[in-house]
Amino acid sequence: MKQELTDVVIRFSGDSGDGMQLTGTLFSDTSALVGNSISTFPDYPAEIRAPQGTVAGVSGFQVHFGSGNVINPGDYCDLLVAMNPAALKANFQWLKKGATILCDADSFNQKGVERAGFCTEDPFKELGLQDYNIVLAPISSMTKEALAESGLDAKSIIKCKNMFALGVCYYLYDRPLEHTFAYLNLKFKRKPAVAEANRTVIKAGYNYAGNAHIFANQYVVPPTNIFKKGKYRTINGNQATAWGFCAAAEKSGRPLFCGSYPITPATGILEELAKRKDLQVKTLQAEDEIAGICTAIGAAFAGNFAVTTTSGPGLSLKSEALGLAVMTELPLVVVDVQRGGPSTGLPTKTEQSDLAQALWGRNGECPMVVMAASHPSDCFNKAFYASKIALEHMTPVLLLTDGFIANGSEPWLIPEMCDYPKINPPIVYSCPEGGYKPYVRDEKRLARSWALPGTAGLEHRIGGLEKDFLSGVPSHNPLNHQKMVDIRAAKVARVADFIPEQEIHGDADGGELLVIGWGGTYGNLRTVVDTMRSEGKSVSHAHFSHINPLPKNTLEVLKKFKKIVVCELNMGQFVNYLRMNFQEFDFKQFNKVQGLPFTTIELAEKFSELLG
């Protein structure tokens, strides 16, 4: 019997080598292609290669798909796919009451149970899961049986067991197989035997689920009708960030250069840009974080649109060079994909704890423009407009994303480039009458001009020393230093004239409670606010993308509400920043630092408490 559902959350989990990221991605892509709205959350282990079968090595991938507007990957899952006992132990707390658990029965032997750290022979009873719908399917042995005549070696055969689990899930949620078959044919174009083996195992899993009647029902999630007409693809935050930079390079007419050092979870941006030689993108994998940003500053001086990418501790290493970029007033975009800290911290987990460093983590009076992306596809827009500010205002811009949105994916309406504005960097091509003075500024932006090396008559000095406010030659004059400090701060503040006003989602004229967020908390906050508003509660949402400077109407927004709560995945960095700027308000705060996003349940409880 088929039963219709509005939305479903699935969590795929297993050892790092079990292919859970690929399995989750294929299910997500298929769901998107049949018209569902999706949101995903990959959950990587921090260990590079933990011992097989241990909790430390469990890799997960959660997908939330539905017929409505899905904007977060879900809190708790309807189906947990656990390829071994360790995966069950690591993820059982994310089960909805009465959820289905699909397990590989072949791995739930005495050795597997002991290696996962269970104290008894029955992990389900030990975890209190007797009332859940537990499906023990012999996934490994049936994979071997399906491929007995394939000619593949034993290691290659067992690698296909994730496809058996995928076939079972495709049956349970009535997903078509053709999209995945097409992917496998393309991926293994030069290895047709491998492609055929994976197709065979998917069909085996699908048929097993149907013929063995392991589920009481089959479920259908209808396509959504919320999407605008156009061409869509799934995209993650790192891809979107990279493509936003490519779009900005096209609109500015400046060649794109990225100098970076690989670091989790930011490496994907550098990898994506390295693929774009067809767009004349230049990338350099530097020997360390300092070299990465310094090559980018050098590229900016040479006339390139320059970016550098990092995460967590890498931003600390870049701090001295960030001061150089501020002092020289060169266009540069720095992306910090935040992760759990301090130090090495939680490399594969999400956090929002680099905000204070982004705002103040440099020596001297050294203000920078700071922005934040809100969800995976939003990274494209934020990367584009961060680039526009950097290039037109001749200033470095720090763009914050985080591991949650960098690795998460969602449908993205591929935009028309004609809908994006032209970027006009203030390049000077000839020597003005009276000689070139590099720090003469335009009145609107306070931006200095950009003289490209090798242009006759535009030779000038540049460097980290304080400089004369017009000529740019080093100056130690106290009054000149005060003037330059003031004007660099004023230039950053002037950006507020070129950014949109802060929007309120909900009661535009004010109400009982305003929920404030920034960055990757967007989807969870918006979901809870919409749910509570549908129940008649006066709750509104303001999500900040522009942090320094803040939108010009921020004070007007705050004045409209009786109570304000700021929610962030740190100990209160943005709320303290707001308290500094708006001391007349009694800001409440709700914080979490667990390497995990907020759940909608805990947010709803907090907001209800504040509403009384």
Residue 488 lies in a domain: no
Residue 295 lies in a domain: yes
* Res 79: pLDDT: 98
Same domain, yes or no: 129 and 252: no
Residue 493 lies in a domain: no
Q: Examine the pLDDT at 399 and tell me if it is beyond 90.
A: yes
Same domain, yes or no: 259 and 191: no
The last residue of one of the domains, among 220, 252, 284, is 220
At 200, the pLDDT band (50, 70, 90 cuts) reads very high
Q: Which DSSP string corresponds to 147-174?
A: TTTS---HHHHHTTHHHHHHHHHHHHTT
**What pTM did the predictor assign?**
0.95
* Res 367: pLDDT: 98
Same domain, yes or no: 139 and 276: no
Helix (H, G, I), strand (E, B) or coil at 448: strand
Helix (H, G, I), strand (E, B) or coil at 302: coil
| Predicted confidence (pLDDT) per residue in 67-90, tens digit | 999 999 999 999 999 999 999 999
Write the CA distances from 56 to 265, 320, 573, integer angstroms.
Answer: 18, 36, 30
Least Cα distance to 275 among 294, 256, 292 occurs for 256
* Res 48: pLDDT: 77
**C-alpha to C-alpha distance for 257 and 309, rounded to whole angstroms:** 11
> What percentage of the chain has pLDDT greater than the value 70?
100
Same domain, yes or no: 246 and 383: yes
What average pLDDT score do residues 493-516 get? Answer: 98
**C-alpha to C-alpha distance for 142 and 330, rounded to whole angstroms:** 61
Same domain, yes or no: 287 and 403: yes
**C-alpha to C-alpha distance for 563 and 611, rounded to whole angstroms:** 8
What average pLDDT score do residues 110-115 get? Answer: 95
> In total, how many domains does the chain have?
3
At 434, the pLDDT band (50, 70, 90 cuts) reads confident
What does the chain come to in residues? 612
**C-alpha to C-alpha distance for 248 and 253, rounded to whole angstroms:** 8
Q: Examine the pLDDT at 49 and tell me if it is beyond 90.
A: no
Residue 496 lies in a domain: no
At 213, the pLDDT band (50, 70, 90 cuts) reads very high
Least Cα distance to 59 among 70, 48, 67, 73 occurs for 48
**C-alpha to C-alpha distance for 515 and 589, rounded to whole angstroms:** 10
Same domain, yes or no: 288 and 196: no
Same domain, yes or no: 148 and 255: no
> What percentage of the chain has pLDDT greater than the value 90?
96
Residue linked to tokens 């409505």: 68
Tokens coding 521: 């908390």
Contacts of 424 (CB under 8 A, 6+ apart): 252, 391, 392
Q: What is the CATH number of the domain that holds 171?
A: 3.40.920.10
Domain region containing 306: 233-419
Give the chain's mean pLDDT: 96
Residue 207 lies in a domain: yes
Same domain, yes or no: 61 and 147: yes
Helix (H, G, I), strand (E, B) or coil at 401: strand
What average pLDDT score do residues 536-543 get? Answer: 98
Q: Examine the pLDDT at 563 and tell me if it is beyond 80.
A: yes
Residue 294 lies in a domain: yes
Helix (H, G, I), strand (E, B) or coil at 265: coil
Residue 503 lies in a domain: no
Same domain, yes or no: 120 and 209: yes
Same domain, yes or no: 154 and 261: no
Same domain, yes or no: 295 and 398: yes
Tokens coding 178: 């053709």
**C-alpha to C-alpha distance for 509 and 232, rounded to whole angstroms:** 35
Partner residues linked to 234 by β-bridges: 411
Residue 444 lies in a domain: no
The last residue of one of the domains, among 391, 419, 447, is 419
The last residue of one of the domains, among 169, 198, 220, is 220
Q: What is the CATH number of the domain that holds 244?
A: 3.40.50.970
Same domain, yes or no: 262 and 399: yes
User: Do 406 and 267 form a contact (C-beta atoms < 8 A)?
Assistant: no
AA letter at 285? Q
Residue linked to tokens 């949105």: 405
Contacts of 411 (CB under 8 A, 6+ apart): 32, 37, 38, 227, 232, 233, 234, 235, 377
Residue 404 has, within 13 A of its CA and on its CB side, a CA count of 29
Strand pairing report for 232-236 and 7-15: unpaired
Burial annotation 175-188 (CB, 10 A radius, 16+ → b, else e)? bebebbeebbeeeb
Q: What is the CATH number of the domain that holds 568?
A: 3.40.50.920
**C-alpha to C-alpha distance for 316 and 345, rounded to whole angstroms:** 14
**Quick one: which H or E segment has residue 124?**
helix 123-126
